[in-house]
Chain A
Amino acid sequence: MNKRSTEIFVGLFVVLGALGLLFLALKAANLASFSNGGETYVVQARFDNIGGLKARAPVRSAGVNVGRVTSVVLDTQTYQGVATLEIKQSVVFPKDSSAKILTAGLLGDQYIGIEPGGDTKNLAAGDVITQTQSAVVLENLIGQFLFDKAADGGEKKEQ
């Protein structure tokens, strides 16, 4: 085999390999979604309880993906969980919008849902969302349910 055709075949091999990598990155992973592409702006949200929310969890509004959680840290001054959100530049919310930690399905992953408010000004980069609703912690819910039941039972016996 002469040198020219060898080089052509090697070129084909390298192009094929690069296409394989591209396929993995674009079609089979999340490079195409906005996480690495597209302009975003960063806002923070403070929660009393962050629940099972993790970095990279989606941010949704009306169920539509509009951004991603980039980090979750504890503020040692107020002992609140601070989630940093990266939201698509094309999506703007009123300044008094509220954020909730929601669960996808019964046992699914947690995500942040943003409900738009009525303010005429919009959230800008660096703003903090303070109207938040914490994650529902199943243990607390069950505990409260049991407590209520016990209280009901006690009242009935007294009557």
Chain B
Amino acid sequence: MNALQLLGRRALDVFAAWGHGAVFFIELLRAVPAGLARFGLVVTQIHAIGNRSLVIILASGLAVGFVLALQLYNTLTNFGAAESLGLVVNLSLVRELGPVVTALLFAGRAGTSLTAEIGLMKAGEQIAAMELMAIDPRKRVLAPRFIAGVIAMPLLAALFSAIGILGAWVVAVGLIGIDAGNFWSIQQNGVDVWRDVGNGVVKSAVFGVICTAVALYQGYETEATPEGVAYATTRTVVTASLGVLAMDFILTALMFSTP
């Protein structure tokens, strides 16, 4: 009987946590128009989470492009298909690696700072003070950060893919000696703007929503202690990464299951 009660309690806890998160997300969405009305705050946040993530995104994208080109070349030469190196790198970056790796980096680079910032605001009772002054912290603090995250993420993912393809071009054309004309024309034949690039952008926007909403939720619901903030920051990375990977599977199945 005790075991059954334990199971029931666990299940109720899980449902309560899901419901809590869902209610938070809906309230966040309802605060978005108020956040858009004060766009200056959004611009400041884009600078904080977009511009400052730029260096790590560009460096990772370049490295991924280099390595993909070098590794794929070995296998593709076996089939005499070294010329399609650019196409393979392009499709894997634009469809999968660009949005996913950018989202994982974004959760680590920008998500953690959002959680820590809001968690410390809560620990310092700044959020309670705002509520006391009849300022809705969701509209003033959370909404601008959420909008900034959703705007910044697709731009970062596009830059990741673009710099990755340029990196692959450097390796393929400069180092390996693949013909530059073939490198580009095979890509242009095989990559569709709406199906591949467009779906990649949709993916990265969804991941932006997941990463930012999770980071804000963890920060807003943190226990107002140093340990609580540390714990919430860790959970941001874990939850956002798992959420992105799970959502990526669902989106890929929806977008690319038909040939």
Contact = CB atoms under 8 A, between A and B. Distances in A.
Interface of A: 3, 6-7, 9-10, 12-14, 16-21, 23-25, 27-33, 36, 56, 58
Q: Is the interface of A mostly helix, strand, loop or mixed?
A: helix
A10 B43 contact: yes
B192 A24 contact: no
A9 B46 CA distance: 10
A107 to B, nearest CB: 11
Contacts, number: 85
A21 B192 contact: no
Contacts of A18: 155
Contacts of B161: 20, 24
B161 to A, nearest CB: 6
A90 B7 CA distance: 72
A13 B51 contact: yes
Contacts of A23: 162, 165
A33 B94 CA distance: 19
A9 B50 CA distance: 10
A3 to B, nearest CB: 8
Most buried by A among B50, B152, B158: B158
Contacts of A16: 54, 155, 159
Contacts of A20: 155, 158-159, 161-163
Q: Is the interface of B mostly helix, strand, loop or mixed?
A: helix
Contact of A28 (B50, B159, B188): B188
Given A10-B43, A27-B188, 11 more contacts: A3-B40, A6-B43, A17-B159, A24-B165, A27-B184, A28-B191, A29-B187, A29-B188, A29-B192, A30-B188, A30-B192
Interface string B134-164: 0000000000000000001011101101110
B50 A56 contact: no
A30 B47 contact: no
B46 A13 contact: yes
Contact of A10 (B51, B165, B192, B201): B51
B193 A31 contact: yes
Nearest to B155: A17
A24 B200 CA distance: 11
A32 B46 CA distance: 31
A24 B43 contact: no
B155 A25 contact: no
Given A13-B54, A17-B156, A28 B43 contact: no
Contacts of B201: 21
A28 B94 contact: yes
Nearest to B44: A6
A56 B192 CA distance: 10
A23 B94 CA distance: 12
B82 to A, nearest CB: 15
